[in-house]
Each structure stands twice: as structure tokens, then as C-alpha cells.
Amino acid sequence: MEKFNLNREDSVLFVIDIQEKLVPAMKGKEKVIDNNRILLEGAKEMNIPIIATEQYPKGLGSTVDEIKEFLNEEDIFSKNSFTAYIDDVKEKLEELNKKKIIITGMETHVCVYQTTRDLIEAGYDVHVVNDGVASRTKENYINALEQMKEMGAVINNTETIVFDLLKIAGTPEFKKMSKLIK
């Protein structure tokens, strides 16, 4: 059951390729952006490290402003490969020394899928946020989630992740996060 248990001391939020020229083509993009904002605000509130990537930013643009406002420039990594588990990210994860990776981003069946596969192979527990990832088609989205589950990823959602990380009600963090989720 350990892989299903999230705790802030051992977790990283990993935001993959939510970029200017990708977002307009995604199904459910508004909900995905909103859920990513909740997760990002929660990560900031709970001192959970955040890593983000941009796929070929010269062609696809940079991370959208709604997401970028939560990121530090040094935590955004540019890539050309579809997997976001690139050398710079590997080094950052080794430096952070945390084994639970919460993944959001685009596209579910390409970059999110390949990154999840590579992280699981490297020994990480991966939680894919089903309402924080998107693809251009529903079929590709569903297929990718099914495959990642078969690989051993935990398919999760924004609310479950936030409340699992919070653990208890009544704290100032709980009150702040509850307002965001309503």
C-alpha cells in the first residue's frame, strides 16, 4: 500500500509541457489548467518541490502564464525528447531525494506516458493526475491512463492528492486548500 500513500516530505510535483501552442488543442483544457493551479498552489503551501518541462519551446512556446506564475525559472527544463526524464531532471530528482512523483501535463499519451514509464523503471512511485493531464483526443487520453496503470502508476485525481498530502482537517493549509477546491 505504500505506493498509494502520498506525503509531502517525499513528494515532487512534475508539470510536463503545458505550453502556449499545445494548450489550445487539448480536450478539457480549462479544467486541466484549473486543477494544475490547485496542485501548484498546494505544492507551494506545503513546501513540495515543483519541476516543469517545456517541449521544444522555440516551436511550442513557453509554459502558459497561468502555470508559469507558480514556477521558478531554474525549475523549468527545456527538452526535445518526448520523455521529460532527461539528464537535467534526473539530476534535480537525485538532488531532491524524493521518491513520489505527482505528474500533470500534456499530452497524456506522449510525454506524460513516456515520462511515467521511465520514472517507474527508475524506481519512482508515480501518481498520474487524471484530471490534470490532457490529450487532443479522448481515446488517446483513456488508452494512456490504462497503460500507465498497467505499468504500475497510481491513477489519481486532484482532490485525492491534495487531501492525502494534507492528512488532517482544521489547519490553515486545509482551510486555504478547501477554498480552492470548492
Domain spans of the chain? 2-181
111 tagged catalytic: yes
pTM assigned to the model: 0.96
Residue 162 to residues 65, 106, 119, Cα–Cα distance (Å): 22, 20, 21
Give pLDDT, residue 49: 98
26: helix, strand or coil? coil
CATH superfamily of 2-181: Isochorismatase-like (3.40.50.850)
- 182 pLDDT higher than 80: no
The rounded mean pLDDT for the chain is: 96
138 tagged catalytic: no
131 tagged catalytic: no
Catalytic residue, chosen from 98, 100, 111, 131, is: 111
Strand (E) or helix (H) holding 177: helix 172-181
Q: For Cα atoms 37, 41, 44, give the angle at the middle one, nearest 5 degrees.
A: 140
The percent of residues above 90 in pLDDT, for the chain, comes to: 92
Q: Decide if 83 contacts 111 (C-beta within 8 A).
A: yes
* Mean pLDDT, residues 107-126 taken together: 98
Question: pLDDT by residue (tens digit) across 50-104?
Answer: 999 999 999 999 999 999 999 999 999 999 999 999 999 999 999 999 999 999 9
Q: What is the dihedral of CA 159, 41, 92, 74, to 10 degrees?
A: 150
Phi, psi angles (nearest 5°) of residue 101:
-115, 120
* Mean pLDDT, residues 25-35 taken together: 96
State the CB neighbour count (10 A cutoff) for residue 37: 17
Q: Which residue has the cell 500500500?
A: 1
**Checking DSSP bridges between strand 76-79 and strand 50-55, what pairing results, if any?**
parallel
For residues 22 and 1, give the distance between their C-alpha atoms in angstroms, rounded to a whole number: 35
Catalytic residue, chosen from 79, 100, 125, 131, is: 79
